[in-house]
Amino acid sequence: MDAILRAIVEPRRRDILQLVQHQEKTSGDIAAHFPEVTRPAISQHLKVLEDAGLLAMRKEGTKRLYQAVPERLADLKRYLEAFWDDRLQLLAREAETEERRSSLPDDQRN
């Protein structure tokens, strides 16, 4: 999940994701949208996205076609949903903290 978050933080990678969200595109096609950087740079971004599971690749001859994997975005969405609401982690941490405090006299609490 961390890989997904790191992947989508880079603005260029978010742009790439948008590009192939609804249709496959070749590496060169994608690179053509970003004249401000070189092709290898795009290639590296594609690798990061693919490693994070956000992109699927299939070869067709000498071309490589990339497309977004909506399931992974759904994963991220679910994770964030849980992040907003989930108190479990918080409560676990609180439990041990409170326990430690209760066993100390008042003047040792901070």
Q: Which residues bind a second copy (CB under 8 A)?
A: 2, 5-6, 8-9, 11, 14-15, 18-19, 21-22, 26, 28-29, 32-33, 70, 73, 76-77, 80, 83-84, 86-87, 89-90, 93, 97, 110
In whole angstroms, how far apart are CA 39 and each of 3, 13, 69, 89, 108? 23, 14, 22, 42, 60
d(C-alpha 39, C-alpha 27), whole Å: 8
Q: How far is the CB of 55 from a second copy (least distance, A)?
A: 15
Distance of CA 93 to the CA centre of its chain: 26
Contact status: 75 vs DNA (CB under 7 A)? no
Contact status: 14 vs DNA (CB under 7 A)? no
